[in-house]
Amino acid sequence: MSNDEYETTAREAIKSLIGKPKGEDNVTLFLEHHLAKLEPEYFSSTYGSTTPEATQIVDSLVLVHSWSSEDDGTVDVFDFSLPGSVTDYLLSVRFSGDEVKEISMES
C-alpha cells in the first residue's frame, strides 16, 4: 500500500470505532476529553456548533506525523490530531503489514 492508502485506511479505522466498545479507550476517550476540555468557541468556529457530531470531528482530523516504528524505514504509524494545534493529544494508528494493529490515544 502507498502512504496515502495507509492514511485512508487509518482514518476509516478511527471512524469505525465511534460509539463502539472497542473504541472506548481511544477514539471515544479522545473525543470526550476534547469536548470537555476545549473552549466551546473552538468547536463553534471550527465546526459551526459547540457540540459537533463525533463524525465531524473525526473527519477533520489532521495527519500530524507518519513514521516507522522499525528500522526498515516502512512507514507504519500515523498520528492524527485536531486542526489548529489546540492539543498535544494524538490518535495513533499502528499497522502490521496492511492491517491496522492498534489505535491508541497518545500525548
Residue pointed to by grid coordinates 487509518: 10
User: For residues 63 and 7, what is the distance between their CA atoms, to the nearest angstrom?
Assistant: 8
Model pLDDT, residue 73: 80
Model pLDDT, residue 48: 97
Q: Which residues contact 19 (CB under 8 A, 6 or more apart)?
A: 28, 54
Average pLDDT along the chain, 107 residues, taken 10 residues at a time: 96 97 97 97 97 97 95 91 97 97 97
Q: What is the pTM of this model?
A: 0.94
Model pLDDT, residue 7: 97
Report CA dihedral (94, 95, 101, 106) to the nearest 10 degrees. 0
Residue 33 has which C-alpha cell? 476529553
